[in-house]
């Protein structure tokens, strides 16, 4: 799945939509993206990997290259890097002012930390939208819908089945037949299982065991989901620490100045260093 396919609500089930659109700065962000001039414009496009207004033009693709932006925000930038930094700082000033007027001096951002680098980075991508961070952490949309199957839920489903001969469970429908199993360790009658389209999948003879197996399987899936979500870093970032904001791919991306001693600093091991 491409990141633009997440927009706007595909992961809504577990996360609040805190996209650039919801932050109320979409127009300013778009204007900054469109009006930025080279060499800064090329540096940002190389870093992000897509052209401005890509969601409307469909111009997806491109390589993500951080070198120019890394240089501009390093401790010893080149002559071109200094120009890039000046252009970016000037163009982003109105957006930062708007953010400050709405949220004060800081904003909560999220980052999916997967790969690590063999050297410190001076620029890193974060997002205001935790759904986007979940996507980059490897969480699939269907995983966001997963919920724990409780013993109480199983008991209620079984009670309905025994009372009515039919129950809907985890997207399937179980219907009791009049064919006996003739086995005291199993249900008295076989049941048939139908999918959402009403097509029969198979039959069964021990509904309680079936539901317990579903419960165990869901627990395993939820554990995998939790491990992915654990990759998401969360930090309260001062507005002044933001280099650039773009939503050209629907990613609500905040490019931060990644510096030791500042909020949101991620070291080369991928660890978020808490700001004191």
The pLDDT of residue 131 is 85
| Rounded Cα–Cα distance for residues 135 and 142 (Å) | 11
Q: How far is Cα 169 from Cα 28, in angstroms, rounded to an integer?
A: 47
| Residues 243 and 255: beta-carbon distance below 8 Å | yes
pLDDT of residue 3: 37
Secondary structure of the chain in HEC code, one letter for each residue: CCHHHHCCCCCCCCCCCCCHHHHCCHHHHHHHHHHCCCCHHHHHHHHHCCCCCHHHHCCCCCCCCCHHHHHHCCCCCCHHHHHHHHHHHHHHHHHHHHHHHHHCCEEEEEEECCCCCCCCCCEEEEECCHHHHHHHCCCCHHHHCCCCCCHHHHHHHHHHHHHHCEEEECCEEEEEEEEECCCCCCCCEEEEEECCCCCEEEEECCHHHHHHHHHHHHHHHHHHHHHHHCCEEEEEEEHHHEEEEECCCCCCEEEEECCCCCCCCECCCCCECCCC
Q: What is the per-residue pLDDT for 63?
A: 63
The whole-number pLDDT of residue 160 equals 98
Across the chain, which has 276 residues, the per-10-residue mean pLDDT values are 36 48 80 92 92 68 81 96 96 93 89 79 92 89 88 98 97 96 95 96 97 96 92 92 90 92 88 79
Residue 236 corresponds to which tokens in the numbers above?
């309260």
Q: How far apart are CA 247 and CA 65, in angstroms?
A: 18
Whole-number pLDDT of residue 143: 87
| Residue 9 phi, psi (nearest 5) | -135, 25
| Contact status, residue 252 vs residue 128, Cβ threshold 8 Å | yes
């Amino acid at each position: 799945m491409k990141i633009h396919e997440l927009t706007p609500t595909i992961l809504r089930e577990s996360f609040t939509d805190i996209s650039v659109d919801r932050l109320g700065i979409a127009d300013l962000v778009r204007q900054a993206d469109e009006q930025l001039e080279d060499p800064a414009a090329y540096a940002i496009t190389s870093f992000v990997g897509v052209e401005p207004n890509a969601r409307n033009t469909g111009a997806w693709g491109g390589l993500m290259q951080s070198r120019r932006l890394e240089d501009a925000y390093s401790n010893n930038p080149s002559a071109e890097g200094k120009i890039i930094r000046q252009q970016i700082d000037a163009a982003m000033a109105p957006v930062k002012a708007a953010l400050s007027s709405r949220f004060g001096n800081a904003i909560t951002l999220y980052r999916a930390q997967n790969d690590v680098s063999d050297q410190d980075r001076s620029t890193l991508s974060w997002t205001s939208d935790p759904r986007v961070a979940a996507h980059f952490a490897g969480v699939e949309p269907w995983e966001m819908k997963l919920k724990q199957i409780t013993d109480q839920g199983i008991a209620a489903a079984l009670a309905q089945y025994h009372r009515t001969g039919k129950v809907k469970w985890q997207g399937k429908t179980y219907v009791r037949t009049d064919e006996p199993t003739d086995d005291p360790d199993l249900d008295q009658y076989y049941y048939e299982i139908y999918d959402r389209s009403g097509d029969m999948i198979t039959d069964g003879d021990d509904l309680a065991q079936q539901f317990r197996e579903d419960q165990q399987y869901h627990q395993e899936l939820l554990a995998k989901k939790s491990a992915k979500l654990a990759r998401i870093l969360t930090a309260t970032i001062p507005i002044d620490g933001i280099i650039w904001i773009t939503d050209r791919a629907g990613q609500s991306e905040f490019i931060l100045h990644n510096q030791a001693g500042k909020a949101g600093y991620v070291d080369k091991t991928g660890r978020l260093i808490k700001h004191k």
